[in-house]
Structure 1
Amino acid sequence: MGNKIKLSKEKKDKMISAIKNYFLNEREEDLGDLSAALILDFFINEIAPEFYNQGVYDSYNYMNEKIEDLLGIQKY
C-alpha cells in the first residue's frame, strides 16, 4: 500500500491508551507511552494493510453482486 495510514492525534492517543490498558489488564505489564506507540506503529505498518485490503476485496465483491442485481431489472 503506497500511502501510510494516518490517524488523528485524538484517535492515536485513544489507541495508545487502549494498548496500555490491555497490557496492564491482560499481562500485568505497565507500558509507557513510547512503548505503546511503537506497538501501535507496528500494527499500523504490518497488520492494518491486510485488514484494509480485505475490506477493499469485500467491498469489490459486494459491489459486483449489486451490479449483477442491477442487470436483472432490464426490460426485454
Structure 2
Amino acid sequence: MDKIAWFLLPSRDNRAVPVQFPKEAEKEMARSLREFLSAELDIEVGNLQTGLLLNFFLSEIAPTVYNQAIADAGRYLHGAMTELPAVCFEPEYQYSERKKLDAQKRSKAR
C-alpha cells in the first residue's frame, strides 16, 4: 500500500520519523477538505490546491494536535500509574494475621 509522509516527528534517538498515511486516507482527507471548502466557504478548489492546503494543515497544525494528544496520554498514564499500587496491592507476609483471624473465628463459633 502506498503511503504519503506529511510531517516529521522526533523519535527516541532524535531522528525525524515521517508520519505516514495510506494513499486512500490521503484521498479521503482531500475529498473531505474539498467538500468543506465548497459547502461552508463557497470555494471551489482543484486537486493541486487541495493537496497544498492539506499539506499545509498537516505540516503546520497536525504536530500541535499530535503533541497535545501525547501530552494527554502521558497525563492519563501518569494518573493510572499513580493509582497502580492502590489498585494492585497485595498485602505481604500475612500468615500471622490469618492465624489470628482464624483463631478469632473459631473462638466466636464456640
Contiguous gaps of at least 5 residues in structure 2: 1-8, 10-15, 93-110
Q: Which moved more, 1:9-18 or 1:64-73?
A: 64-73
Q: Is the 8 A contact 1:4 1:45 kept in 2?
A: no
Aligned pairs, number: 76
Contiguous gaps of at least 5 residues in structure 1: none
For 2:81 and 2:41, locate their aligned partners in 1 and report how far apart those are by CA, in whole Å. Answer: 48
- Among all aligned residue pairs of Structure 1 and Structure 2, give the percentage whose two residues are the same amino acid: 26
For 2:58 and 2:44, locate their aligned partners in 1 and report how far apart those are by CA, in whole Å. Answer: 22
For 1:50 and 1:3, locate their aligned partners in 2 and report how far apart those are by CA, in whole Å. Answer: 16
Give the TM-score, by structure 1 length: 0.89
Greater per-residue strand proportion: 2
For 2:81 and 2:66, locate their aligned partners in 1 and report how far apart those are by CA, in whole Å. Answer: 22
The code of the aligned residue for 1:16 comes to A
Greater per-residue helix proportion: 1
Q: Which residue of 2 aligns with 1:50?
A: 64
Q: Which moved more, 1:34-43 or 1:3-12?
A: 3-12
Bigger Rg over Cα = 2
Q: Which residue of 2 aligns with 1:65?
A: 79
RMSD of aligned residue pairs (Cα, Å): 1.3
More RCO (CA 8 Å, sep 6+): 1
Cα offset, 1:28, TM superposition: 1.3
For 2:18 and 2:33, locate their aligned partners in 1 and report how far apart those are by CA, in whole Å. Answer: 20
For 1:45 and 1:4, locate their aligned partners in 2 and report how far apart those are by CA, in whole Å. Answer: 11
Give the TM-score, by structure 2 length: 0.64
For 2:41 and 2:69, locate their aligned partners in 1 and report how far apart those are by CA, in whole Å. Answer: 31
